[in-house]
Amino acid sequence: MIQDIFPKHLDNHYENTAPQEKDTVFLFEGNKVMGRLEGESVLYPDYRTFAEHAGCKMQFIYLFSIDGQRFFLAMAGGEPEKGSFLGEMADSEVHAQKEELLPGYVFIGVNVFRNAKPREVSFAAITAYHLYGWYRDNRFCGRCGRPLAHSDKERMLRCTSCGNMVFPKICPAVIVGITDGDRILLTKYAGRSYKNYALVAGYTEIGETLEQTVEREVLEEVGLHVKNIRYYKSQPWALSGSLLAGFYCELDGSSTIKLQEEELSVGVWVHADELDTQDDGVSLTREMISKFAKEHRRV
């Protein structure tokens, strides 16, 4: 999966430090990141490039390092410009101004990480996107409404008025492989840009265990009851700010699908012999479907 970058290692320990010339810088606008496509690779600007063209306009926040390569987040004036919250891109004045900052670099949709090389840089980019969303959405204290200030000791925002502390948001969620013998239930999302087959998924609610989330989401989205819920593995998924927990479970009772149409456009039972989904080395969903296919194919 995307986070499997061994023997390289992500060190997410926060440092109160300034960027140096060769440090990599991520600049996001909505769901796009500034970079340059070269074959299968996405090249991201280093701090020297920013310093030459736009350094005085930016605040740089240390993110993390991978085997000594340091990564920073660039934000103009420390805040996202108008347009960030609506995802205004190519036709927006904000976007045009940003493109002019760094010659040779353009804004690319963050989904490019699925296929871009090298893997560790793609993982760095999508993890940076998670933190970008957190910094963008937490400018004011949710307790008293005053501005939040960056801590110089840890990755935390503190209200200088009431002392409230805000840490990066991580949402627990489940991915569910519902099986019935040599069949697995595949779904497609309704109204989303991702059009490939997926598995039933959903966020854990207040007061729920992960296993209860599995039961509830399956019943809500496809109208089925399940049993023998078994944990598989987890994955950080920055596009939704989630920590995904993968589970397999077995059908318990009727296999008639009752689709929750506002969430899903397709729900279908597929035999292992009919599955052609390959593990893309990126997502937990694809790995779980591929694993089931390999273990249950008859041919």
How do residues 73-124 score in pLDDT, each as one tens digit? 998 765 545 444 344 333 445 445 555 678 889 999 988 888 888 899 999 9
pLDDT in tens, 32-82: 999 999 888 899 999 999 888 865 678 899 999 999 999 999 987 655 454
Structure tokens at 89: 């891109």
* Residue 84: CB atoms within 10 Å: 20
In the chain, what are the domain boundaries? 10-140, 171-296
pLDDT for 88 equals 37
User: Residue 280 and residue 256: Cα distance in Å, rounded?
Assistant: 30
pTM (2 d.p.): 0.86
CATH 3.90.550.10 is right for the domain spanning 171-296: no
Contacting residues for 237 by C-beta, under 8 A, at least 6 apart: 173, 243, 244, 283, 284
Tokens at residue 209, please? Answer: 């265990």
Tokens linked to 181? 């013998």
CA distance readout (Å), 44 to 41, 50, 58, 198, 253: 10, 11, 16, 30, 52
